[in-house]
A and B are shown apart, each in its own frame.
Chain A
Amino acid sequence: MPAINLKVGVQSMGRFLSGMVMPNIGAFIAWGLITALFIPTGWLPNASLAELVGPMIKYLLPLLIGYTGGKMVGGERGAVAGAITTMGVIVGTEIPMFMGAMIAGPLGGIAIAKFDNMVHGKIKPGFEMLVNNFSLGIIGMITALLAYVVVGPIVSVVTTALGDGVAWIVEQSLLPLVSIIVEPAKILFLNNAINHGVFTPLGAEQSAEIGSSIYYLIETNPGPGLGILLAYMFMGKGAAQKSAYGASIIHFFGGIHEIYFPYILMKPRLIIAVIAGGMAGVAFNMVTGNALVGPPSPGSVFALVLMSTSGMGILLTLGSIAVATTTSFIVASIIIRNDASETDDLAAASALVDANKAESKGQVPVMANTVVKSIVVACDAGMGSSAMGATVLRGKIEKAGLNINVTNAAINDLTDADIVITQQELSARAKLKLPSARHLSIGNFMDTKFYDDLVDSLS
């Protein structure tokens, strides 16, 4: 179905974009804290220490994104090429180049990966280091120049246009309408794609200009979800009501928003409540001028408070959470009270959430209409368990008549695959190495049922 393809496509793109940002969120937070403390309007204004703010946002953060983007497509050499290329877009413009880094980083990585593939096995013994070093240097130089001359100016124009568009939305007081897209998207586990792929870079750029950004508050406000859980506590019944107490603590203090998704899936009309709550929170922040200095990750009340601006910032942030919570609570209470017809099966809704989440992370029974060309079975050494697993899976793939290449590799050698299969203990390492792939975890590599299910889902 086209809708499924669109969702999978958006999730893949979101995974790729957020994969460049998420490993570097700590650096964003460090920058946000330095900004919050030392800029002239900060908690402890200090002109000398505030000099860190500019170079960090202009150079450090885009370079980290570019480095990570390059690494995702071209390994260690891709990372270096990505960082060199990103320098081209940074120097080529005056604005912080987050979007540029998201293009330049992978571009550098792809360039060096293509070169490496082209010369693989053709370098004469003894010349490997010479070729490796100079190819990286020369290709990096070319891509940096390309980024400086072409990518930077284009991204600059696009960024300016987007900025103008967003400014228009803000001027027309339409920003709260963004919640109509954001809140339902969260339930589909597009939250990381939206937050870290879009709002964090946009927020960082705005924050560099004016010291803080409202974009950091759009997706991260825990108020809408808290309103839903409170409504279940007061108006709900059965398991949903009892579990809502614990869920609200995890959600509000721990910042794990995913925990309230099953409660919405039990009564899909509650999506109206989170949209209303989200809109109310954004409207409150827009009217009061409240914003955060850095990305609050995860979206816990503690993180939001820490990233608040000085002065009234904390109170306004807590106010926006309260407004969003109250609005969401009122709407959700009405819906829950008047809606006895729909299921209260929390377990079924939780299962649906797990399926959505697995799908968003690629841990899915892969859908038949998804194009899968290569599967890599990976283990630590790349010659033992993975070789056995790849052999079993290859036989089943061939028997099913599927045109999919199945190989085995060490996790450290992962460079490209649509699906990566690893033992559960190694999945985190594999995801870190190749975040763009779908990752499936297996108990042991000779588990034929696992492979049968996978082949069924691919057929």
Chain B
Amino acid sequence: MPDKSPQAAELISIPALLARNARKYGAQPAYREKEFGIWQCWTWIEAAEEIRALALGFLALGVEKGDYVAVIGRNRPALYWSMVAAQKVGAIPVPLYQDASAEEMAYVLEHCGARFAVCGDQEQVDKVIEVQETVHGIEHLLYLDPRGLRKYDHSRLHAMREVMTEGRAAQGRLEGELKAREAALGYDDTCVMLYTSGTTGKPKGVVLSNRNIIETSKASSEFDRLRAGDEVLAYLPMAWVGDFIFSIGQAYWNGFCVNCPESPETMYENLHEIAPTYFFAPPRYFEERLTILMIRMEDASRFKRWLFHTCLNFAKRVGPKILDGEPVSAWDRVRYRIGDILVYGPVRSRIGMSRVRVGYTAGEAIGPEIFEFYRALGVNLKQLYGQTEASVFITQQPDNEVRADTVGVPSPGVELRIAESGEVFYRSPGVFVEYYKNPDSTASTKDPDGWVATGDAGFIEESSGHLRIIDRAKDVGKMADGSLFAPKYVENKLKFYPNILEAVVFGSGRDKCCAFINIDLTAVGNWAERNNIAYGSYQELAQHPQVYAMVQEHVEEVNAGIAEDEMLSGCQIHRFLILHKELDADDGELTRTRKVRRGLIAEKYDDLVTALYDGSGEIYTETEVTYEDGRKGKIRATLEIRDVAVVGADEPKMAAE
């Protein structure tokens, strides 16, 4: 075996960590899942036993070393076990996005050549069966929830429970083989393969080794002092690298407990019941939670509203300081303590954050107001910046240096470099091995010295040493007059308004910027209700003149903000329209992780983009939409286009000429 890290001579694979946890934390909870209304619990010893049975079952089914095992479903302990069981027999788990369509799934299954697939329920089994018409690699299918599957042909379809039973029955025969396979796992063997959603092109299979995962988990756990006894809620897609690091890497390294919700719809309730100590959510989640809270507060009695807002305003001033350990007067501390009893404590408990020691958000920029709100309540919310290719962590914010506009300092073991072009490069023990079967992409992303291009443009702030991300490097362009164009920067500013769900800004190579806006149905719908505005559909609400007026106000405010930044003042929005449908991953407009696919949108709504720039006041359009079951339909609409006031528009242009 190649070199081992000295601190952890034995701990060079996830199964090895599992064995250690079963020895060291045996009777402590390893997994919980709410089922039939009760939290079911498995200790580390029990989990290890289930995983062993499943691994033996895999051997009985004929899983070979180096096979790929696809895992598809919502977060459930048994699916996590199937990933570790696959590793135990020397196979490589490939978690897939459960909401992927059959076509998307077909590509991935064919690309990795999976021989086995583990599915959560009938829906996923159906998709894999459909895929098999074109992809013939799958030999055996396992499923967890038997509902609706009774009548299916079971010659190659197996209930996971039965596979485990067979594994236990064959223990005598297969035990030796299992031990040998497990002992052969090396530090540089593949731990997991994760497909990146990719804003462009086909998904790529990112190969991460045991070294990548374990070194990263170790370093990041030390950074945030994670420990056995911590609790996480596993609710983000299993195919996403973050979930793998949090729910397997860090969970196994530290021996903490992974809790799985009863169903996706009960997530809020389950979060409240578990009250995790370590929590991750995308900015969108925090926004949603805040929107719901504010809407509920509107319905509260006048006194409660007054109390809530008074306490909150005070907390915004004092809360973050207390969190960061800055000096705060004794009187303020007392007042904060009272507020904590009356308001902050109950609110934290309601949103399931009463015990959060470490909370992270990443993936997109988060609105400063939202960020401040949670910190004011005493939630230690921080930002991190990461990628699948880095095993998540590139930079993260230390406990006492948290700010809304930076993404933190390099994580332990990570080196950063900013290229001439402004693109951020990094090198770390977590850097991926390769893109599976794609040496060209590997070479263009990772240079021979191990430096990886992030594809993001940013700079390191001199005063604090924190990294600030401006935009996707390839999206940062020049406008016709040569000034800098950073669409994401503007879009994020727009999206900070609760009424705006998504925004797409155009302007590269053109003389001015224009935007598509998606309204947020929850927030705007609530506003409409309060203002007695009747509407029958999303489309109707989106085209309402008062909604337009409101959005116009937001856009103008954003323009004023952008105008203050000299470098980016050219990015002010001159014209906008509100789209007649929500941008949707099913239509390919967003990635599965909800990132805007700019190029595709520009192409698909070519007529609308043209209308934005040719000065017309409205435009009739037809759009094809895909329903959840894959059928297609058309929606028709006439969209209004509005001109927006721009700050100091004329002078700089004149000067440039």
Do chains A and B interact in one complex?
Answer: no
